[in-house]
Amino acid sequence: DAGVTQSPTHLIKTRGQQVTLRCSPISGHKSVSWYQQVLGQGPQFIFQYYEKEERGRGNFPDRFSARQFPNYSSELNVNALLLGDSALYLCASSPSRRNEQFFGPGTRLTVL
Amino acid sequence: AQKVTQAQTEISVVEKEDVTLDCVYETRDTTYYLFWYKQPPSGELVFLIRRNSFDEQNEISGRYSWNFQKSTSSFNFTITASQVVDSAVYFCALSDLIQGAQKLVFGQGTRLTINP
C-alpha cells in the first residue's frame, strides 16, 4: 500500500511570497495533520483536518491555512512568507482524529 | 501544559552496543498515548510504537524494547545490539487533545549515531 505522499520535495521562495504544499493520505485515512519542523527541533502541530473541516489548530498565525478535498488529500497554504517559515513541513494521515499518525517524507521549504 | 523532554541531544555508540534513549513527559490528562518515531536522514518520520497510558506492560519488538513507567512519567526506548542502520534522530511524542483533534507534542529528539 502506498504511504503518505507529499509534493513538492523541495521549494525555494522569497520573503512575501505565497506557497502551496500538497499531501495525499494513505488510502482509507480521513484525517490529515500538518506539522512544521524547524532544523534541530521536534515537529510542531499546525492543524488537523478531518472530514474536510479544520478540527484543531496549533499556535500558528492566520497566514497558515489549509483545506481538505473530498478525496481527503490536503493543501497547506502559507501567505506573506517570512524567513522563519523555512522548515520541513510534514503531513500525517490517520484513519480518524485519534489514531496513530503516519507521516509523509515532508516538503523542505527555504525562504530567502 | 503537555510537554516531552528528551534530555539526550546526541548519543554515539559502537555497533553491537545496547543503547537507551530517555523520554520524560508531563501531562494533565489521565488518558493519553505515548509514541516513538524514527527520523532517518531522508526526513520521513517512521512510526515505531504507540502505548496507552493504562497499559504499563513493557514491549519488545525484535531488537527494540520500551519501558513505560507512569510513576516517573517516563517512556524509555532501548535498542539492543545496535546496528549502523539504527542511526537516526528519534522522537518521543505525547498525544494532546485540542478541539477534539489529537495532536502530537514532540520532544526535541535524540540524534543516535552507531559507528561501525
* Tens digits of residue pLDDT in B80-97: 999 999 999 999 999 887
Give the list of residues 6+ apart from residue B109 with CB closer than 8 angstroms, or none: A41, A42, B6, B39, B89, B90, B91
Whether B102 has a pLDDT exceeding 90, the answer reads no
> Looking at residue A97, what is its pLDDT?
66
CB contact under 8 A, B45 and A90: yes
Residue B100 has pLDDT above 90, yes or no: no
pLDDT at A65: 96
DSSP, collapsed to helix, strand or coil, labels residue A13 as strand
pLDDT, position B89: 97
Task: Judge whether residue B99 has pLDDT over 80.
Answer: no
Cell output for A95: 484513519
Quote the pLDDT of residue B107. 97
Q: What is the pLDDT of residue A66?
A: 95
Residue B77 has pLDDT above 90, yes or no: yes
Share of chain B above pLDDT 90, in %: 72
Query: Is there a contact between A42 and B102 if contact means CB atoms under 8 Å apart?
Result: no
- The pLDDT value recorded for residue A96 is 76
Tell me which of A44, A101, A107, A110 to substitute to probe the interface with B (most B C-beta atoms closer than 10 Å): A101
Which residues in chain B have their CB less than 8 angstroms from residue A45's CB?
A: 98, 103-105
**Per-residue pLDDT tens over the stretch B6-36:** 999 999 999 999 999 999 999 988 889 999 9
Q: Which chain A residues are within 8 Å of B93, Cβ to Cβ?
A: 42
From first to last of its 112 residues, chain A has per-residue pLDDT tens of: 689 999 999 999 999 999 999 999 999 999 999 999 999 999 999 989 988 888 888 999 999 999 999 999 999 999 999 999 999 999 999 987 667 889 999 999 999 9
- A89 contact partners, CB below 8 Å, separation of at least 6: A6, A21, A34, A35, A36, A37, A76, A106, A107, A108, A109
- Give the count of Cβ contacts less than 8 A between chain A and B: 75
pLDDT band at B1 (very low <50, low <70, confident <90, very high): confident
